Structure 1
Amino acid sequence: MLSQTVTEQIVYLNGLYLPMCESQISTQDRGFLFGDGVYEVIPVYERTVFSFDEHLARLKNSLKATSIPNPLTDAEWLNLLNTLVAKHSWDNQFIYLQVTRGIQMQRDHMPADCLTPTLYAYSNPLKAVSDDIIKNGIKAITLDDIRWLNCDIKAITLLPNVMLKLACKHRNADDAILIAPNGNITEGTASNVFIVKNNTLLTPPNSSAILPGITRLLINRIAKAHGITVLEQNLTLDDLTSADEIWLASSTKEALPITQLNDLPVGSGKPGALWQLMRQHYQTYKHDFVAQYLAQQVQQQQQQQ
């Protein structure tokens, strides 16, 4: 696989594909001034965009919730992503795309009418989970959830998440599980939470307090397909401390096992048996997804000939 430097990366900006080092966004863009925008992060495996339909549906929900016009059709979105993938040498990538409300020359909290959204997207190599994490898991802490009340919107206003990540760093932890004022567990700093108790997989229900994660959705789907019981219910710190296993799930990291929480071991202190089983099922799901997509592409090409 060819190497590719940052200076060679190609980005998409408002209809143009250009080198990342040449891309420029106005200082009067509402995304820059107010964080007035939404985003998505989409993994790519073997040069195949993964779970496009689910990611696009979530993007549309975020745009609708914030009253930002959707700048592209479904087909145009897919073409944009596939074009970015094709312009880079990495077989496994992740695409970051961001839509802001657009440029408004007079700074005002009230958006002007008929603004044109700013659309920016780029791709990075997607690194595999390290052997050390697979063998030993990660360390996490619990922190108060200081974010806003609409976490189901994938908004670019992520200062609270940055502050929480810094708190993890200061305490020598890899990540944090967040606890709402009512005592319920919400999610990680950039991930959904699962716990295992008596071979049952538990996760907080979708609400405005958490992002409806695509990996969370797929884990639920895969678990049910393999006869693993999944329950969506409110969880508390007591549930965490008595859990046999704890996972954090996200699009770029899939599911990571937490083996130490607040300096105490989780379960045996090693990645658990159900996580190891789910990891195998998830890899198979990815392989089958890519194989099915490539077969469809071949079929379409044959029909066009």
Structure 2
Amino acid sequence: MGDLACVNGEMMAPERATVPIYDRGFLFGDSVYEVCRIYAGRCWLEAQHLERLRRSLKELEFPPYDVDRLVARIYRTIREAGVDEGLVYVQVTRGVAPRTHAFPNPPVEPTEVIIVRPFDDGPSAALRETGVPVVSRPDIRWKRCDIKTTNLLGNVLANESAHREGAYEAVLIDSLGYVTEATHTSVLWAREGRVEATPEGPEILIGMTRHLAERLARRVGLPFVETRVTLPALLGADEAFLVGTSTEVMPIATIDGQPIGDGKPGPITRRLQEAYRDELRDWLAAPSPAPARA
């Protein structure tokens, strides 16, 4: 069991995987990606991730792309890697063509990369019990964060800055002073018995785990409200937490050194953590569909 890559249908060790220097994903970040959590050899929230991938491809005006073939290759890679608990990373670029800003005309074949690797949830599970420190940073990203592209330099710089301060994540603040999201997770918070989140739009990614958290909140009787919040207002929330593919539901203990609530995971966060575990357990117990074949 270990890391395995699949490049345009060819299996190889990740250290052997390469792309041409004229690949537009390498040159321009002209590519989209998805990351799915693997439980028991199956992709969690698979349909939702694939729908977002289709949307990203459409928004970037990619030529027709065979998503069904991609799914078959994903499961073939999972099987050959022997990974039961892990992550699958998928990236699709506009392909290889002489370097020019305009799209290749006629279109070229996209480059497809799949990477499967084991994932140890132990460290994250421990942090979910205590909560994590985060810091705030300016949101310097491009204006179409709703498209899941590989243009992530703004995220990378903010996340690196957070790690240098010993923080788990960086919460991003836009030019008007409002919270958008974090570098690789969604930010949610609780006030007066309701769960709140930044309204969806071009400034934030359409989060699959955020959508799940919304469904779970309503299921356990918690109102879910989209609203804009400033950093001072977020600091005054009763609770705050991060949600994401590998993060699941992660309590925020402090922001910029200031405790959220009493600095410990609150009751609403705990209810959502329990609801998440219940949802995952029921999904794993349900009959799995016939495995896709490449």
> TM-score band, normalised by the shorter chain?
over 0.9
Equivalent position of 2:73 in the other structure: 80
| Structure 2 counterpart of 1:172, one-letter code | G
CA contact (8 A) 2:9 2:73 kept: no
| Structure 2 counterpart of 1:252, one-letter code | S
1:100 and 1:36 map into 2 onto residues whose CA distance is: 6
CA contact (8 A) 2:130 2:265 kept: yes
Equivalent position of 1:302 in the other structure: none
Query: How big is the shift at 1:297?
Result: 4.5
The answer to whether the aligner puts 1:44 opposite 2:41 as a matched pair is: no
- 4+ residue runs over 3 A deviation: none
TM-score of the superposed pair, with normalisation by structure 2? 0.94
Equivalent position of 2:135 in the other structure: 141
Partner of 1:256, secondary structure, is strand
| Structure 1 counterpart of 2:210, one-letter code | R
CA contact (8 A) 1:85 1:93 kept: no
| Structure 2 counterpart of 1:173, one-letter code | A
- Where do 5+ consecutive residues of structure 1 fail to align? 299-305
Query: How big is the shift at 1:90?
Result: 2.9
Segment of structure 1 superposing worse, 36-45 or 21-30: 21-30
Query: How big is the shift at 1:216?
Result: 0.2
**CA deviations over 1:235-268 (Å, ceiling 9, x no partner):** 2113211111111111111121110111111111
Query: How big is the shift at 1:62?
Result: 0.5
1:262 and 1:256 map into 2 onto residues whose CA distance is: 17
**CA deviations over 1:187-222 (Å, ceiling 9, x no partner):** 001111100112210001110000010000001011
Partner of 1:176, secondary structure, is strand
Equivalent position of 1:301 in the other structure: none
Query: How big is the shift at 1:15?
Result: 2.1
| Structure 2 counterpart of 1:179, one-letter code | I
The answer to whether the aligner puts 1:291 opposite 2:289 as a matched pair is: no
2:242 and 2:233 map into 1 onto residues whose CA distance is: 15
2:51 and 2:136 map into 1 onto residues whose CA distance is: 31
Q: How does 1:192-211 map to 2 (within 5 A)?
A: 192-211=186-205
Query: How big is the shift at 1:129?
Result: 5.0
**CA deviations over 1:124-158 (Å, ceiling 9, x no partner):** 11221535412321101111100000000001011
Q: In the comparison of the two structures, how many residue pairs are matched?
A: 289
Percent identity over paired residues = 30
1:101 and 1:149 map into 2 onto residues whose CA distance is: 20
| Structure 2 counterpart of 1:124, one-letter code | R
Equivalent position of 1:101 in the other structure: 94
Query: How big is the shift at 1:71?
Result: 2.5
CA contact (8 A) 2:41 2:78 kept: yes
1:15 and 1:132 map into 2 onto residues whose CA distance is: 37
Equivalent position of 1:112 in the other structure: 104
CA contact (8 A) 1:39 1:59 kept: yes
Segment of structure 1 superposing worse, 142-151 or 80-89: 80-89
Equivalent position of 1:150 in the other structure: 144
| Structure 2 counterpart of 1:282, one-letter code | Y
| Structure 1 counterpart of 2:247, one-letter code | K
CA contact (8 A) 1:94 1:123 kept: yes
Q: Relative to structure 1, is the Cα distance of residues 73 and 142 closer, same or farther in structure 2, using a 3 angstrom cutoff?
A: closer
- Where do 5+ consecutive residues of structure 2 fail to align? none
Equivalent position of 2:240 in the other structure: 246
What value does the CA root-mean-square deviation take over the aligned residues?
A: 1.6
**CA deviations over 1:69-104 (Å, ceiling 9, x no partner):** 243143x23212221221223321110000001101
